[in-house]
Structure 1
Amino acid sequence: METTERSSNIVISNIDDQYQQQSQEDISKLNSFDYTVVVLYFFMIIITGLFAMNRTNRGTISGYFLAGRYMQWPLIGASVFASNIGSEHFIGLAGSGAAAGISVVAFEINALLILQLCGWIFIPVFIASKVCTLPGYISKRFGSHRIQIYLAVLSMLLYIFTKISVNLFSGAIFIQQTIGWDIYWSILLLLSITSICTITGGLGAVMWTETAQSIIMIFGSGTLTYLALQKIGGFKNLYHEYMNSRPSIIPNNMSECASPNPRSFLLLRPLNDPDMPWLGFIFGQTTASIWYWCTDQMMVQRLLAAKSLSHSQGGALFAGYLKLLPFFLIILPGMISRILYTDQVACVDPVECFKHCQNRHSCTNVAYPRLVLGVMPSPLKGLMMSVMLAALMSDLSSVFNSSSTLFTCDIWPLFRKNASVMELMIVGRTFVIFMIVVSIAWIPIIQSMQNGQLYLYIQDVAANLAPPIAAVYIMAVLFKRVNESGAFWALMTGLIIGLLRMGLNLHYMEPTCGQLDLRPWIAKVHYMYYAIFVFWITVAFCVIISLCTDPPEDYLLIRTTYWSRFDERERIDEREEEMQWEMLETDNNRNNKKQNHNHSNHIIAIDSYSQELQTKQQPIKSSNNNPLCILRRFIIWFCGIEPESQKQNNRKKKSNNEKHKLVSIEQDVQAKKILTSALIIIVCLALFIFIFFSIPNWWQFIFTDWKISINE
């Protein structure tokens, strides 16, 4: 048996050596067929965006920021999946798979479970409380604006300096590896197309385009996985080949770094594991996941756009099932890339790494694009380029729309309390432009980032800053006694503790393999364990301060906690909330009255001379066909500004029952049974994956009886 394995190893090694030599010649830039596919992708996205702009009402607060709250579960689930799977997943997750094995799958399975927590615990409360933004919920729950402002500003800063930057950084890596375009011009093009869909279309257009992009991502990535598995002789060779993938050039002090982690095929690992300690992951990373999936505007906004609670929960379930795919579509290709391109992807010598990826520390980040260029034939390379563009654009459009929502609904009204709907629409679209400018200004900083650690830094930053936010939202939803003082000072305490470690991490960089670790002890603590500490400190401060101060007023608890979500009592601020929800109608009526009053004499004169008006009607119609009028009508439609007559017709069509449904959490009995059954299945499936793939030597149950030969 050993002789057979050794001979097969030699065969596979020789094939890999020949393939790597050939790959240096085969890896080329995209040709005309590939560019045609990319152009067709852009054309399809533009058509989808125009279709969505025609279907959704973009002239109202609810229409622009929440897609009119008429979205169905397939669109919601696909949009959530596409919003989450950005270009950093194709670069970062694939790179982590190449470097550390399957452990990063735990993030995806954890997200699967937390999504259901959001759909069944948080979303019913958010819908019942009639909010458009999550900071707005906090304001309604505690009756104060300071936490609302803090959370809105912090979210926008995190969007600018983490989500946008990591997407542009990852996209830049792929563009450099595949096309060779200048980074500035390529990113400017992507930002321009993304911003057009976001500015003009609102959340409805974003969700429709994200659905199309998710289909492209799944199809293209699935094709790559299939072709990559064929290159290594099938899934049966994965374990053996991955564990034997060592670069040919290894410095003397880096022998340990060159070999794959012995626990590469374990999901959850021992307590002292540097990648995935099981205790830190379950109790620490989960808190950061709750922030991302349950309290972050970008994700929850899509679930709030559902036409009913059942569709929202169905979307969460659908997105959860889709989260099973990244292992096969992203992580597995990253591991195969290490097998096929060991000297390039798994390099440890600084000189060799710089030669392959212009980075002296590691080249695992290029695992996915290198596999695309080496495995995919033309024009499938263009298809995978479209996949990366889809991931990048879907994430950016989500960030832009969510940031615009936060600024328009939570920040701007504090400075302009009587702002008209037209003003809010303009402010929302203008803020997207501001985000684009900041994104472009961030590009030089992205280029200066070294060693490909940006993806890991984002995880670390989230573990430092996210647990306090998750703690406050959990306390607000589940515990009635928590008040504004306790929540605010707990947030401030958690922020200080989180910033302390984040500052140390930025000052004392983590040493590379073979170097001594001279960092302070607090910087050496694994970020998952630190997240546990920050979370429970925040909870403790929140409870203690709340118990030492006055309880919240009774009306603040109406429909703002999980236990009071069905409370039908009228809140003191109910009228004000209703005015905010129907802001378009109120502002239009006020503007119409002013306009009618200012021009009443002219209207009377026109009415008294009806015959004269009829004689002038024909020239007016003809004048509407001139280029300026046509351009004006196009701009009004493109920007989502409804004509007054259409607004009045839309207002007449809306009944009180329809308005009630938008904030109702009542569910059909049959739908609830189906959703509960699907929930039980997905939770059991996730628990099985966590348990089975964390058992040492689980792979012996699968790989033992398979031959390790590709010449069958």
Structure 2
Amino acid sequence: MKPLDTLDWISISLYFLVLAGIAVWVIRKKEDNTEDYFLAGRNIGWFVVGASIFASNIGSEHVVGLAGTGASNKLPLLIYEIQAWVVLILGWVFLPFYARSGVFTMPEFLEKRFDARSRWLLSIFSIVAYVLTKISVTIYAGGVVVSALLGIDFWTGAIATVILTGIYTILGGMRAVVYTETLQAVLLILGAAILTYIGLDRVGGWSSMQETLGPEYFNMWRPATDPDFPWPSLLITSTIVGIWYWCTDQYIVQRALTARNIKEGRRGTIFGALLKLLPVFLFLIPGVIALTLKMRGELQWDNPDEAFPVLMSNLLPSGLRGLVAAGLLAALMSSLASVFNSCSTLFTVDIYKKLRPNAPEKKLVRTGQIATVFVVIVGIIWIPIMANISGVLYEYLQSVQSYIAPPITAVFILGIFYKRINATGAISTLVMGIVVAVLRIVLELVKDNLDPDGFLFKIGDMNFLSFGAWFFLFCLLFLTVVSLLTKAPDKEKIINLTFGTITEEEKQNNKNSYNWLDIAISILIIIIVAGVMVFFNGS
């Protein structure tokens, strides 16, 4: 690793000055009410919504982890990054239901569709899941990046970034988060694009890279018998996780809910989907470039997760290196800020407000700020435990999400598409799903101590993608059977909240919220996704 020089530090300082300027401007403009603090006053345009969706998603765990995936022969995990078409499902299918219901949070939507039990359970479960899959992973990746870039130890880097991000998130709320994320998205795309271009030039182009690594390295489709990435399970489970993450998760959906109307919200998701096509080229390819240079003896790193920062520090000229370093810090800070704000929204709106329905608006905002601090502390405590579950960071993230996503995805999909699904079915599926997910994580951690011929060992040792696919099927069946065996839902629980019960007026409002251009861009995105899937087939 080359140390940063004066020009690099000037670039990083300029970035932080602009960021501070935006944060101060937003903090001065904000009002002390919950709609402004948690949903930016529901008055955001499509460009900021889309950039915020992208920046929330692309955290340092993607930059570090996706490059690590490219550098460690785990290319099938690329499928999680070309799920841009699932972002379209949020805008075209789910968002109209969420917007019509006027909710702040996803658990609040479950209460409107089912009952308060589902809301309580999903709120608490989501906060725990954020600590497991988002906060700790982001802090860990941020520590790797910051310590590699600035030459300081891991914990100092991780904690300094958390505190800095926490300050503007706590003070500025959602409005500070979405505006700073727009700047961070632009900077990250620019920096990573420059690195990819210079890197490809350094290795002698794509064909030269294929010669060094062999064409089979570029195949994301492994046989169905592959022990790590069987393609049918990969395709099914990545879609289940994609729908959970993009269409039902507070972390992402909250960005679409800040839009001033359904039209802006949907366009924001289409723009977000368009941006989501970029990570393959901006982060995965640099990892492959880093591996190529390592195999040629031109670059040295020990852990695949170091591939991106090492490549950046060795290939980029002075000044530009600082800009890309700032982009990496931006990625880390944007995803941390998003999850901090989502956690405080869930805790304040779904838990605290339920217990204290008459609490004044200022008190609710203050509670959200305190909740953020607690979540940060728990996330830091979880990092050492997280390091034991899976080798490469990105794979850890996907494996845990494969256990969490199936029950929640099943409840949301069937809840919207099948009006016979009731509250008893929903709460039973969520409880069963949480128990199974926890059991699987525990068994995965202790499987070496179990009888290799026993049932528990087989559950703990089963491929995480295959487990996710079968678990989702079981959740769908379980939810349907329990709902059919119990009382049908009341009429007010399904009107305008499920397909087949939407009023003619609402149908017309929905039709007026898009035009031919929205449809054309959406189709183009699906064609590009299919093209990427065909391109990475090893031929």
User: Where does residue 286 of structure 2 map in the other structure?
Assistant: 333
From 160, 164, 171, the equivalent of 2:135 is: 164
Higher relative contact order (CA 8 A, sep 6+): 2
Task: Report the Cα distance in structure 2 between the residues aligned to 1:307 and 1:294, rounded to whole angstroms.
Answer: 19
Unaligned runs of 5+ residues in structure 2 are: none
Contact 1:58 1:201 in 2 (8 A): no
Cα distance change on mapping 1:276 and 1:441 into 2, 3 Å: closer
Q: How does 1:39-438 map to 2 (within 5 A)?
A: 39-55=13-29, 57-100=30-73, 102-109=75-82, 111-142=83-114, 144-243=115-214, 263-342=216-295, 357=302, 363-438=303-378
User: Where does residue 412 of structure 2 map in the other structure?
Assistant: 473
Offset of residue 154 of structure 1: 0.9
From 540, 543, 548, the equivalent of 2:480 is: 543
- The question of 1:562 aligning with 2:499 is answered yes
Offset of residue 522 of structure 1: 2.4
Task: Report the Cα distance in structure 1 between the residues aligned to 2:177 and 2:448, rounded to whole angstroms.
Answer: 38
Question: Could you say what secondary structure the match of 2:515 adopts?
Answer: helix
Cα distance change on mapping 1:437 and 1:284 into 2, 3 Å: closer
- The question of 1:455 aligning with 2:391 is answered no
Cα distance change on mapping 1:535 and 1:410 into 2, 3 Å: same
Task: Report the Cα distance in structure 1 between the residues aligned to 2:59 and 2:535, rounded to whole angstroms.
Answer: 28
User: Where does residue 507 of structure 1 map in the other structure?
Assistant: 446
From 518, 530, 534, the equivalent of 2:471 is: 534
Q: Which amino acid aligns with 2:89?
A: L
Contact 2:262 2:513 in 1 (8 A): no
Offset of residue 310 of structure 1: 1.5
Contact 1:309 1:666 in 2 (8 A): no
Question: Could you say what secondary structure the match of 1:276 adopts?
Answer: coil
Cα distance change on mapping 1:674 and 1:509 into 2, 3 Å: farther
Task: Report the Cα distance in structure 2 between the residues aligned to 1:58 and 1:466, rounded to whole angstroms.
Answer: 35
Q: How does 1:656-695 map to 2 (within 5 A)?
A: 666=509, 669=512, 671-694=514-537
* 1:373-401, Cα deviation, whole Å (9 max, x unpaired): 21112122211211111011000000000
* 1:42-71, Cα deviation, whole Å (9 max, x unpaired): 11111122233345x432221111111111
Contact 1:124 1:665 in 2 (8 A): no
* 1:336-395, Cα deviation, whole Å (9 max, x unpaired): 101112388999xxxxxxxx54xxxxx211111110121112122211211111011000
Q: Which amino acid aligns with 2:21?
A: I
Task: Report the Cα distance in structure 2 between the residues aligned to 1:482 and 1:443, rounded to whole angstroms.
Answer: 38
Offset of residue 493 of structure 1: 2.2
User: Where does residue 422 of structure 2 map in the other structure?
Assistant: 483
Offset of residue 152 of structure 1: 0.7
User: Where does residue 37 of structure 1 map in the other structure?
Assistant: 11
Contact 1:203 1:401 in 2 (8 A): yes
* 1:257-303, Cα deviation, whole Å (9 max, x unpaired): xxxxx732123222123443221122222111111111110000001
Q: Which amino acid aligns with 1:270?
A: P
Q: How does 1:582-621 map to 2 (within 5 A)?
A: none
Offset of residue 419 of structure 1: 1.2
Unaligned runs of 5+ residues in structure 1 are: 1-26, 244-261, 348-355, 358-362, 511-515, 570-663, 698-712
Cα distance change on mapping 1:190 and 1:565 into 2, 3 Å: farther
Contact 2:304 2:392 in 1 (8 A): no
Task: Report the Cα distance in structure 1 between the residues aligned to 2:359 and 2:297, rounded to whole angstroms.
Answer: 57
Cα distance change on mapping 1:226 and 1:453 into 2, 3 Å: closer
Offset of residue 562 of structure 1: 3.3
Q: How does 1:613-652 map to 2 (within 5 A)?
A: none
Contact 1:263 1:269 in 2 (8 A): no
Offset of residue 684 of structure 1: 2.3
Cα distance change on mapping 1:180 and 1:540 into 2, 3 Å: same
**Superposition TM-score, scaled by structure 2 size:** 0.93
Q: Structure 1 stretch 183-192 or stretch 325-334: which is displaced more?
A: 183-192
Question: Could you say what secondary structure the match of 1:384 adopts?
Answer: helix
Query: Percent of pairs identical after alignment?
Result: 35
Offset of residue 452 of structure 1: 4.1
Task: Report the Cα distance in structure 1 between the residues aligned to 2:383 and 2:78, rounded to whole angstroms.
Answer: 30
Task: Report the Cα distance in structure 2 between the residues aligned to 1:289 and 1:222, rounded to whole angstroms.
Answer: 25
Q: Which amino acid aligns with 2:126?
A: S
Q: Which amino acid aligns with 1:186?
A: G
Task: Report the Cα distance in structure 2 between the residues aligned to 1:215 and 1:106, rounded to whole angstroms.
Answer: 24
User: Where does residue 656 of structure 1 map in the other structure?
Assistant: none
Cα distance change on mapping 1:183 and 1:265 into 2, 3 Å: closer
Task: Find the structure with the greater CA-based Rg.
Answer: 1
Contact 2:110 2:118 in 1 (8 A): yes
Contact 2:290 2:307 in 1 (8 A): yes
Contact 1:309 1:665 in 2 (8 A): no
* 1:72-92, Cα deviation, whole Å (9 max, x unpaired): 111111111110011011111
Question: Could you say what secondary structure the match of 2:474 adopts?
Answer: helix
Offset of residue 31 of structure 1: 1.8
Contact 1:338 1:345 in 2 (8 A): no
Contact 1:98 1:345 in 2 (8 A): no
Task: Report the Cα distance in structure 1 between the residues aligned to 2:148 and 2:284, rounded to whole angstroms.
Answer: 19
Task: Report the Cα distance in structure 1 between the residues aligned to 2:331 and 2:457, rounded to whole angstroms.
Answer: 38
Task: Report the Cα distance in structure 1 between the residues aligned to 2:512 and 2:423, rounded to whole angstroms.
Answer: 37
Question: Could you say what secondary structure the match of 1:287 adopts?
Answer: helix
Question: Could you say what secondary structure the match of 1:563 adopts?
Answer: coil
Offset of residue 326 of structure 1: 1.0
Q: Structure 1 stretch 677-686 or stretch 408-417: which is displaced more?
A: 677-686
Question: Could you say what secondary structure the match of 2:264 adopts?
Answer: helix
Cα distance change on mapping 1:417 and 1:453 into 2, 3 Å: same
User: Where does residue 610 of structure 1 map in the other structure?
Assistant: none
**Superposition TM-score, scaled by structure 1 size:** 0.71
Task: Report the Cα distance in structure 1 between the residues aligned to 2:399 and 2:56, rounded to whole angstroms.
Answer: 21
The count of residues paired between Structure 1 and Structure 2 equals 536
Question: Considering only aligned residues, what root-mean-square deviation do their CA atoms show, in Å?
Answer: 2.5
Offset of residue 509 of structure 1: 6.5
Runs of 4+ in 1 over 6 A off after TM superposition: 343-347, 516-519
* 1:625-682, Cα deviation, whole Å (9 max, x unpaired): xxxxxxxxxxxxxxxxxxxxxxxxxxxxxxxxxxxxxxx9825758422211211221
* 1:157-192, Cα deviation, whole Å (9 max, x unpaired): 111122111111111112232222133333332122
Q: Which amino acid aligns with 2:100?
A: A
User: Where does residue 580 of structure 1 map in the other structure?
Assistant: none
From 469, 489, 492, the equivalent of 1:552 is: 489
Question: Could you say what secondary structure the match of 2:104 adopts?
Answer: coil
Q: Which amino acid aligns with 2:325?
A: M
